[in-house]
Amino acid sequence: MITCPQCQQQLPDWAKVCQFCHTDVSKIARPVAIAKPKPKSSLDAPNWVWPSYYAIAGWYIISGLLLIWQGVSGATATGASALAAGLMLFVSITGGISITIGIGLILKNPVLRKVCVWFNWLTILVSFRGLVSGIFLSTLIGIGWLWALSNLISMIAAAFMIYLLAETDSATEL
């Protein structure tokens, strides 16, 4: 809107002549057009993207530490069989990988971010399989839906992390 200098009426931006007093308003400065939204880039990603990103990275580290603790205490438990100890070693290694990815995410390491994307795609695939078998299982035993639900949640979480990694991608290339 512009204001007529003569009668102070509000006139549309495109007015050349005041519709009330017929004063020439073609020389009146027009309001600056509202700036178009900047091209989408991760630097102006929604505010919650980076906090979520760091929260998940932190979660990878915490759950990794828990896995190592679980693995080491399981492997060294008295009476643990060689097979159980081997399995616990595998759990510890998984924990180590989780911590490495978590730290890589915080440091915005491009290689580890890619590893994380693949890891999440793998999670989606495995969880999808779990979801299908959980649905099938729920027709047999009641608890099956819980298995399906937990797989659905891990699928959603993995898809969310892939989204976050894509959303924060170009920021790390700077």
Chain residues binding Zn ion by CB under 5 A are 4, 6-7, 18, 20-21, 23
**Nearest-CA neighbor of 152 among 144, 140, 141?**
144
Q: How far is Cα 18 from Cα 4, in angstroms, rounded to an integer? A: 6
Closest contact distance (angstroms) between CB of 32 and Zn ion is: 22
Closest contact distance (angstroms) between CB of 6 and Zn ion is: 4
Task: Answer yes or no: are the C-beta atoms of 27 and 57 closer than 8 Å.
Answer: no
Nearer to Zn ion, 18 or 61 (CB): 18
Closest contact distance (angstroms) between CB of 35 and Zn ion is: 29
Nearer to Zn ion, 20 or 118 (CB): 20
**Nearest-CA neighbor of 103 among 70, 163, 56?**
56
Nearer to Zn ion, 10 or 73 (CB): 10
Nearer to Zn ion, 23 or 42 (CB): 23
Closest contact distance (angstroms) between CB of 25 and Zn ion is: 7
Nearer to Zn ion, 23 or 109 (CB): 23
**Nearest-CA neighbor of 173 among 107, 110, 97, 102?**
110
Closest contact distance (angstroms) between CB of 15 and Zn ion is: 9
Residues 6+ apart with CB under 8 A from 132: none
